[in-house]
Structure 1
Amino acid sequence: MRRVVAVLCLLMSVVAGGAEAEPWQSVDPASAGWSAEKLNAARDEVVGLNATALMVVRDGKVVASWGDVTRKVNVASVRKSLLSALYGIAISEGRIDLTSTLGDLGIDDKPPALTATEKQATVRDLLMARSGVYHKAAHETADIRRKRPVRGSHAPGTFWFYNNWDFNALGTIYRQRTGEDIFVSFAQRIATPIGMEDFSVADGSYVLEKASIHPAYPFTMTARDLARFGQLFLNGGRWGERQVVPASWVKEATTAYSHTDHGSMGYGYLWWTLNPDVFGPGAALASGFGGQEIAVIPAKHMVVVKVVDRTETKGGRTSRFVDWLKQLTAAAP
């Protein structure tokens, strides 16, 4: 009952407290110091990215955009970085403890149930994709299923594996510890304060599969709203006069704690990190299957968003987007 009341209260605050969104402002790239030649070269490569929409934002203004930035698409694993922001808020408020173990929190799953060792994984282990729990999970790609280690092969905290079980269990933990629905919470705590123009609670859903009790939580969002989320992290969690996400969390979440199997990319708290030798310090990426991307590049004061409607086209690999991103950043002042 308390959880229902909390959700209703959040819904009421979303309706009552939603500020009118201010549309993005645009700026002429040439007057902003961009290399026209290099930017044109990057533009020529956009068609190869198969983007439904793509936005480039620098210093809070749109430098370039392609496609329909108002089209809502399933952003796949970008959902994990969205949840990371909610965790930063909840942890700062003392509602979730990074050191709590699965055993402490009463987290288990369908048979074969978690072992005593697996239940020693902490919330922080899950955020880093280092739980050591290799139970089947909802919304796994074929690649994850193929690469998933054998149960019990790695102790909690000792091995990185991009693991949907970790990510889905984090959704369950968030709902249980805060008493809040993920999508209502995102609308009230993030979307409304930063003036997202399109997101509504109905744009999220829970997806269960037979193998696990922990649902995935896909979001459907537009490129222009994702750009605001990226700008929020570029701003150190601040929007205007309001500290929406703690600045310390933004830094922690986008710090590399693990080397990954994606070349020079690292992994933080539900965020990928980009090679600092190429993109500068603090560069991070929220990335989803099929070409969903939010790149945050502090050294260039820049956010780049790409979304793909996978019902219409294939979006290509993240590595291709990152290669294009190198070309784009070379054009930036």
Structure 2
Amino acid sequence: MNRLLAIIALCFCVLPARAEPGRHWQSIDPVSAGWSATALQPLRDYAELRKPTALLLVQNGALLASFGDPARKVGVASVRKSLLSALYGDAVADGRIKLDATLAELGVDEKAPGLTEQEKGATVRDLLTARSGIYLPAAHETPDIKEKRPLRGSHPPGTFWFYNNWDFNAPSTIYRQRTGEDIFESFARHIAAPIGMEDFSAKDGRYALSPVSLHPAYPFRLSARDLARFGVLFANGGSWEGRQLIPAGWVGESTARHSASDRPGRGYGYMWWTLPEDGFGKGAALASGYDGQQVAVIPGKRLVLVQTAESGSDGKGQRTRDFIAMLRKIVASAP
């Protein structure tokens, strides 16, 4: 009997920590999870200085630290692009969307005078990797994009990376045309509900049209605690409680570095930023939005760090480079 009990105890010891949160987030003491008593001081200092709307650190599906209001929904800006990228996983896997299909083949165009023949040669993959060579005004583009946009026709499709809202908005048109699904209803049904998002509904998304383009932006409003669930889904390779919600191959491919970028230390995948293996480990990625919206996924340590911020609410703004610098310290200390 004693031997049987010992075997049972050993089995429990080697079981992996729960990888997903339950219905509600459970907090754990970082020290009991193997962190040093001072490991999270950079996170505390950052929260005190930056005062984001919310800042959450999660490991193995449990909440290690929380600052601000994790239930408050905010506009998450360009994080929307990584949310749409996640939806592409099933659509690509089942053949509804082909990555090598050209805009000409898909019948995707733009307002008069329309796309050139060269531009129509851009593929879905070129759009997702911001390498389309289509340099046209787009909905929800930032002043930085407008200022830096290359001359039209200056780079053939697939040859040059430029962070370009035209590339990110056209995939919303393609997704809706090829799947017949509304983006926000699809996200609610295929991702938000299965992973137990507590605050999101399809009404938290909208299409934002601009007079300059046929292709709308698709802004989302999400809470930090729901974004953290999305991050955990990617840290787990697209799996949630044993169910593969996003193909594992797509998670790996979309968060792999396909291009260098003009941001120091960052590459670009399929509408995800990638972080260097040196310091962050393999597969580390960042969904990042203007003025402080961040979802960092560090699969090697089953770590997710989420920040939300009301745009410009404190007059200081939130800088991605400061967030990444703090993240690097946290990852280095993580067990």
- TM-score normalised to structure 2 length: 0.91
**Which runs of structure 2 are paired with 1:39-58 in the superposition (5 Å)?**
39-58=40-59
How far 1:111 moved relative to its partner? 2.6
Q: Does residue 318 of structure 2 align to residue 319 of structure 1?
A: no
- The whole-number CA distance in structure 1 between the counterparts of 2:333 and 2:188 is 35
Residue among 323, 327, 330 paired with 1:328: 330
1:49 Cα deviation after fit: 2.7
TM superposition shift of 1:67: 0.4
Q: Which residue of 2 aligns with 1:249?
A: 250
Q: Secondary structure at the match of 2:39?
A: helix
Superposed, which structure 2 residues align to 1:60-79 within 5 Å?
60-79=61-80
Number of matched pairs: 313
Equivalent residues of 1:183, 1:201 under 8 A apart: yes
Deviates more, 1:35-44 or 1:175-184: 35-44
Once the two structures are superposed, residues 45-93 of structure 1 have per-residue CA deviations (whole angstroms, 9 ceiling, x without a partner) of 2222331001000011000010000000000000000000100111112
Deviation at 1:278, TM superposition (A): 1.1
Larger Rg: 2
Q: Does 2:289 correspond to 1:288?
A: yes
Question: Mapping of 1:254-269 within 5 angstroms?
Answer: 254-269=255-270
Name the residue aligned to 2:225.
Answer: 224
With over 3 angstroms needed to count, the CA separation of the structure-2 counterparts of 1:94 and 1:40, relative to structure 1, is: same
Instruction: Give the corresponding residue for 2:234.
Output: 233
Of structures 1 and 2, the one with the larger relative CO (CA 8 A, separation 6+) is 1
In structure 2, what is the Cα distance between the partners aligned to 1:299 and 1:49? 27
Report deviation, 1:143: 0.2
Runs (5+) with no aligned partner, structure 1: 1-20
What letter matches 2:87 in structure 1? L
Q: What is the aligned partner in structure 1 of residue 209 from structure 2?
A: 208
AA of the residue aligned to 1:127 = L
Match of 1:132? 133
Kindly provide the amino acid, as one letter, of the partner of residue 240 in structure 1: E
- Residue 117 of structure 1 aligns to a residue in which SS? helix
Superposed CA RMSD in Å reads 1.1
* 1:184 partner letter: E
Q: Distance between the aligned counterparts of 1:117 and 1:156, measured in 2? A: 7
Give the AA of the match of 1:56: L
Q: Residues 259 and 268 of structure 2 are in contact (CA less than 8 Å); yes or no, is this contact kept in structure 1?
A: yes
The answer for the alignment partner of 1:6 in structure 2 is none
Any unmatched runs of 5+ in structure 2? 1-21
Give 3-state SS (helix, strand or coil) of 1:278's partner.
helix
Distance 1:84 1:115 in 2: 26
Poorly superposed stretches of 4+, deviation over 6 Å? none
Aligned-pair CA distance for 1:311: 6.1
Match of 1:104 in 2: 105
**How far off is 1:113 after superposition?**
1.4
Aligned partner of 2:181 in structure 1 is: 180
Correspondence for 1:167:
168
Q: 2: CA distance between counterparts of 1:189 and 1:42?
A: 32
Report how far residue 270 of structure 1 moved: 0.5
The CA distance in 1 between the partners of 2:26 and 2:210, in whole Å, is 42
Give TM-score scaled by structure 1 length.
Answer: 0.92
Q: Distance in 1 between matches of 2:279 and 2:297?
A: 13
Q: Secondary structure at the match of 1:304?
A: strand
